[in-house]
Amino acid sequence: MKPLEDYLVVDFSQFLSGPSAALRLADFGARVIKIERPETGDICRHLYTSNVIMNGESSVFHAINRNKESFAADLKSEADRAQVWELVRRADVVMHNYRPGVMERLGFDYASVRAQNPSVVYGEISGYGPDGPWRDKPGQDLLLQSVSGLTWLSGNANSGPVPMGLSIVDMLAGAHLAQGLLACLVRRSLRGEGGLVQVSMLESAIDFQFETLTTHFNDGGQLPQRTRHNSAHAYLGAPYGIYQTQNGYLALAMGSIPKLGELLGCPALLAYPDPKQAFEQRDDIKATLAQHLRTNTTEAWLAVLEPADIWCAGVLRWDELLQHEGFRGLDMTQTVQMTDGYAYQTTRCPIRLDGELLTSAVGSPQLGQDNARLQQEFMTSNIAQHD
Amino acid sequence: MSLPLEGLLVIEFSQFLAAPSAGLRLADLGARVIKIERPGAGEAGRQIAIKNLFIDGSSLVFHTINRHKESYAADLKNPEDLARVKQLLARADVMTHNFRPGIMEKIGLDYDAVRALNPRIVYGVVTGYGPTGPWATKPGQDLLVQSMSGLTWLSGTAQDGPTPFGIAVADIICGSHFAQGLLAGLLKRGKTGQSVLVEASLLESVLDMQFELLTTHFNDGGQLPQRGAVRGTAHPYLSAPYGLYPTQDGYLALAMGNLPQLDETLGCGILEAYPEPASWFEFRDAIAEKLTAALREKPTQHWLTTLEPLGIWCAQVLDYQQATSSPGFQALGMQQRVQLPDGQQLATTRCPIRIDGQKLYAPQAAPRPGQHTAALDAEFNLRTTISN
């Protein structure tokens, strides 16, 4: 049994942040209905990455929207709105990621929905919060990385700002929305109350940096300083970083510098016996380590370091990872199928409940594929009422 | 209205970042969270510092992750202490730990033992690489998981080596998934009345974080990600102009957008050279170079004033000083102060989720090790119960 079986989620959101939260709810067992604009649908359907098109639509749309239904409706048409209301009235969760003010204009804002559905749990994601001077700016991942200071944490000291190379802020905002919705569903199950959950990409990006921002608030407001080379965390000392070896790369996390010197046969590292030096002289230590680690293979270094409990790992590419027994044992992939028979491989929900994997064979929906069925299921009684 | 998790009791054996960050989220959402800590030293994370910063005997990052919690000191190898902890567990709704496989079995607090004490417990475990398999005993450490998951090939430029995310992203995203799982577990318990086991791992979480790109990889013939060659490149799978560009006095971010309009405004001849939209991915480096040459000529503010009114998605790239003093940041009220036992205040951030229109602030600082032992003994009648 999945925890959200019998829950109905009506999702007006697009792109990644909101739909990734709805995907999580779907994998927990909820029935998720996407409300999409006729003709074009969720804009993400045509937001291609590296021009990869699967069954006529973008690969990322298929990743984000599997295990969902699609109801195409023009929210400006009275007839369509009435049908959407039939869904919204029965929903346990209603969510969207329009900019502040848009849902009020469309008439499906929290106050309006709650008036018809008092115990609804209503979620929304904005770019920069419901008010404030930036509320009307586009809530787009790279822009949020840029204004939240995040781009000064990765890369080396002379790299300039370095973004994280995936839509990290969208992912986090979606994860936070899912947390808030689940927490309010817990409250509803205990006390019968509905609730409003609001998340913004900027608040999520700040929360992501809670450790480094708290440090910034308490270190006199200094800026993060990345190391000259092999930087992996602006606030950590040597050896923390990734180093080139004779045949690849080696990741080294925390570890005593003199002990590393002994194990690696690098006497120059014995000159740093005080743990404070690992932070204060990290550029020099890293330069020495980098030069030394190039003299042998990744496997050779791992063979010395792992038995000594030094935290280290080889650096894998996806093809190497996917072939590794450690990955295959996770059963992290699943094949899903669309209603037209098109099947594709994707990942599964990362959480296990009662030792079971939360999988589903349902692929992403074609735009509006469920209109007829949903009309029959939810709207006939309404039509009968009007008779 | 009450906070969503008010009345729920969470017992946290977890250490470091991933699982304790889930405990923090549950606390901010209204749960009562009690850390079980080794007498004296407390959680190991108290000694893990960034920038060597310590406050009131514990690292600043420990304070960041463990505010809004109580601390109960117990030596789990001491039978009397263990018996008291079991009394607490019998009253708990949730417990979490992130010990390596086998440890909780040895102590006698593995899932089967705890659900025998409390048949309605939601029992959460965080591991590095999943419950079984060849990596199950490998240290579950953030940079190692980033390195093994393929994540390091997404940031930086084509000529950079593997470039990690400069933050403990595996821990944080896993903590976030773990919180979701615990909440889903509470909902499941509500339906069945039975205990629930919730498991998350750093590796599965970082794979999930890459789900869009991995799905692309699975369906594009297994090609590896190709990062752009121009400094500022921001996403291995997106076309120009997506990236960060140097201006005369700083940096400008350009998201996906209207390249023809951008080209016309900046006058850099991109459309003339690359008229086919389908070629903008293939030639993203050359396009980025043309954009760089144009954008360098004027200050960032000039470009924002020019491009924003055209609806082009752009932003100034801010550093920590600029970001935290910006009006957009200030308007959120994301900073809060917690009160330390000695009366000092410590500035940190608040929960990013708003409930019923309220921002969730909590003034309680992280506890000292065992700070609440006596109070909890009294409240839950733990000493008397044992001696009887």
DSSP string over B14-27: --SSHHHHHHHHHH
Q: Are strands B54-55 and A195-200 parallel, antiparallel or unpaired?
A: unpaired
Among B24, B74, B93, which residue's Cα sits nearest to residue B364?
B24
Choose, from B93, B110, B142, B171, the residue flagged as catalytic. Answer: B171
Q: What is the pLDDT of residue B258?
A: 86
- Our CA-based measurement puts residue A79 at a distance from the nearest CA of chain B, in whole angstroms, of 31
A287 vs chain B: nearest CA distance in angstroms? Answer: 15
User: What pLDDT is stored for residue B385 in this prediction?
Assistant: 53
- The minimum CA-CA distance between A106 and chain B, rounded to whole Å, is 20
Among the listed residues B149, B164, B153, B162, the one whose alpha carbon sits nearest the alpha carbon of residue B207: B149
Residue B379: what are its φ and ψ, rounded to 5°?
A: -60, -45
| Tokens coding A377 | 């299921």
Interface test mutation site (partner A, options B125, B143, B149, B318, max chain A beta carbons within 10 A): B143
Who's near A312: CB < 8 A, 6+ residues apart?
A250, A251, A252, A253, A255, A301, A302, A305, A306, B144
Closest CA to A242 of A33, A233, A186, A176: A233
List the end-to-end C-alpha distance of chain B, in Å, as a whole number: 41
- Per the CB < 8 Å rule, is B355 touching A224? no
Percent helix / strand / coil, chain B, rounded to 5: 40, 15, 45
Exposure string over A3-19, b if 16+ CB within 10 A, otherwise e? bbeebbbbbbbbbbbbb
Asked about B81 being catalytic, the answer comes back as no
Distant-in-sequence, close-in-space partners of B268: CB < 8 Å, separation ≥ 6: B290, B291, B293, B294
Task: Give the per-residue pLDDT at A50.
Answer: 76
Give the residue on B whose Cα is nearest the Cα of A332: B204
Residue B279 class from Cβ within 10 Å (0-12 exposed, 13-18 middle, 19+ buried)? Answer: middle
Q: Give the residue ranges of chain B where pLDDT is below 70.
A: 385-388
* C-alpha distance from residue A332 to each of A41, A66, A327, B207 (Å): 29, 15, 7, 8
Instruction: State the average pLDDT over residues A169-188.
Output: 98
Whether the CB-CB separation of B182 and B28 falls below 8 Å is answered with no
Query: How many angstroms separate the CA atoms of B346 and A170, rounded?
Result: 29
| CA distance linking residue B63 with residue B368, whole number of Å | 10
CA gap A372, A116 in Å, rounded: 24
Our CA-based measurement puts residue A61 at a distance from the nearest CA of chain B, in whole angstroms, of 8
A110 vs B1, higher pLDDT: A110
Calculate how close chain A gets to B371, using CA atoms only, in Å: 23
Instruction: Kindly determine whether residue B166 and residue A172, on different chains, have CB atoms separated by under 8 Å.
Output: no
- CA dist A25 → A93, B60, B181, B339, B349 (Å): 10, 35, 11, 37, 27
Contact B318, A163 (CB under 8 A): no
Contact B162 A249 (CB under 8 A): yes
B29 touches chain A (CB under 8 A): yes
d(CA B250, CA A147): 13
Query: Are the C-beta atoms of residues A143 and B255 closer than 8 Å to each other?
Result: yes
> Does the predicted interface ipTM exceed a cut of 0.90?
yes
- Does any CB of chain A come closer than 8 Å to the CB of residue B363? no
Task: Please name the member of B134, B192, B218 whose beta carbon is closest to the beta carbon of A1.
Answer: B192
Q: Is A325 exposed, middle or buried (0-12, 13-18, 19+ CB in 10 A)?
A: exposed
The reply to whether residue B167 touches residue A233, judged by beta carbons under 8 angstroms, is yes
The total number of residues shown for chain A amounts to: 387
pLDDT for position B256: 82
Q: Is B184 close to A182, i.e. CB distance below 8 A?
A: yes
Question: What backbone phi and psi angles, to 5 degrees, belong to A198?
Answer: -125, 130
What 3-state class would DSSP assign to B314? Answer: strand
Inter-chain CB proximity A179 and B165 less than 8 Å: no
Q: Decide if A376 contacts B218 (C-beta within 8 A).
A: no
Q: Which H or E element spans position A353? A: strand A352-353
**Minimal-distance CA residue of chain B relative to A2:** B188
A-chain residues near B278 (CB < 8 A): 51
Rounded distance between C-alpha atoms, residue A343 and residue B373, angstroms: 56
Structure tokens at A86: 């039939």
Q: What is the pLDDT of residue B257?
A: 78
- The answer to whether B139 contacts chain A (CB < 8 Å) is yes
Cα–Cα distance measured from residue B240 to residue B233, given in angstroms and rounded to the nearest whole number: 9
CB contact under 8 A, A345 and B139: no
- Whether B87 and chain A come into contact, CB under 8 Å, resolves to no
Distance CA A161, CA A321 (A): 28
Q: What does the alpha-carbon distance between residue A204 and residue A218 come to, in Å, rounded to a whole number?
A: 21
pLDDT at A386: 37
3 state DSSP class of A197: strand
Residues B87 and B79: their CA atoms lie apart, in Å, by 12
Q: Phi and psi at residue A345, in whole multiples of 5°?
A: -95, 140
**Chain A residue closest in CA terms to B346:** A218
In angstroms, the separation between the Cα of residue A83 and the nearest Cα of chain B is 27
Positive or negative, the CA dihedral B205, A138, A94, A117 is positive
Which residues of chain A have a CB within 8 Å of the CB of B183?
179, 182-183, 185-186
Interface of B with A in 147-176 (CB under 8 A): 147-150, 152-156, 160-169, 172-173, 176
Task: Among A141, A146, A175, select the one facing B244 at the smallest CB separation.
Answer: A146
